Amino acid sequence: MATLSELVDTVAKVTGMDPATVALLARHAREAGLIAMRGRGPSAAAMGLTDAANLLIAVNTVQHASEVGRAVPLYRQCVPYERDAQGNRHALDGVGRLGEIMEQLIRAAGTGIFPDPFLGKQISPQVKGDFAQGNLWIGAQFNVTFVAAALRIVPREAGDGLPNYPLLDSARAVLAFDFFFPTRRRKGVLHKFFRGPGIMGNRIEEMTIGHQTFRAVGQLIEPV
C-alpha cells in the first residue's frame, strides 16, 4: 500500500521537482477531492491509479497551487484525437478521456503489460511484446497555457548523454494521440484561466514527462 507521502516522494524524485512543491500541490489536490483522504500513519488512505494520475496532471499543468482544483478536472476531461492519412485530426468518441488513459498508462508502465484494446484500438502482439521488453516507452506532453495534451508511444532511443525529444511531430511514434477539451463548436483552444475558448497564442508553455515517471509511479501504486 502506497501512502500520499510516498507518492509525493516518488514524483518529486523522478521528476526532479522540489518535494515541498509537490507536497503543496498534493495537499491542494486532496482538499479539492482529487486525492483520497483518510487518516494518518497506518490508517492513511492507500493511493490508487486515480490519485497518481491526478498528481501527475497537477505537477505538470499548474503554475500556482491554487489552480489545482480547477485545472486537474479540465485536463482529465480532454478527448483523444488521432490524425488520418491526410494529417487531419479527428476525435475518438467513447474510448476514454485523458484522466482514464493516464491511469491505464501508469499501470502499464508499472507492470510492463500494455492495455489491449487501447483507445478503441486492438494492439498487435509485436507492440505488446516490445513494450514488455522495454523497447517502447511512454511520453506525455502537457500544454500549460491552454487545456491540451499529447501522448506518444515511441521506440526507446539509445542514450548518448544528450536529451531526446520524442514528442516532436517529426519523431517516429508507434501510437500518437492528442487531447483537447470537449468544447462544442470550438474556435480555438480552451485557455485554463480565461473565459471560454480563444485563439492559441504564439507563446506556449509545455511540460513533458517520460517513461521513467510513469514506471516509477506505476511500480509504487501497483507493485508486481
**pLDDT grade, residue 157 (50/70/90)?**
confident
Q: pLDDT band for position 42 (50/70/90)?
A: low
CA–CA distance, 75 with 140 (Å, rounded to integer): 13
Q: For 81-94, b where at least 16 C-beta lie within 10 A, e where not — what string?
A: bbeeeeeeeeebee
Answer with the residue of higher pLDDT: 140 or 161: 140
Omega before 117 within 30 of 0, i.e. cis: yes
Write the DSSP string, 42-87. Answer: GGSPPP-HHHHHHHHHHHHH-SSGGGHHHHHHHHHTPEEEEE-TTS
Average pLDDT of the chain to the nearest whole number: 86
Would you place residue 195 in the very low, low, confident or very high pLDDT band (cuts 50, 70, 90)? very low
Pick the more confident residue, 139 or 40.
139
Give the mean pLDDT of 204-212.
Answer: 87
Reported as a pLDDT band with limits 50, 70 and 90, residue 177 is very high
Q: Tell whether the model's pLDDT for residue 14 goes beyond 50.
A: yes
Comparing 128 with 161, which gets the higher pLDDT?
128
Quick one: pLDDT at residue 101?
97
The dihedral over CA atoms of 203, 17, 193, 81, expressed in degrees to the nearest 10, equals 70
Q: How far apart are CA 182 and CA 79, in angstroms?
A: 6
Instruction: Please compute the mean of the pLDDT values over residues 186-191 and round it to a whole number.
Output: 60
Asked if the model's pLDDT at residue 194 lies above 50, the reply is: no
Does the pLDDT at position 115 exceed 90? yes
Position 17 scores a pLDDT of 95
Q: Cα dihedral angle (134, 87, 180, 190), rounded to 10 degrees?
A: 140
At a CB cut-off of 8 Å and minimum separation 6, what does 145 contact? 191, 192, 200, 201, 203, 204, 205
Question: How many angstroms from the chain centroid is the CA of residue 30?
Answer: 18
How deeply is 195 buried, as exposed, middle or buried, from its count of CB atoms within 10 A (0-12, 13-18, 19+)?
A: exposed
Mean pLDDT computed over 75-95: 88
Q: In the prediction, which pLDDT does 182 show?
A: 84
Say if CB 57 and CB 76 are below 8 A apart: yes
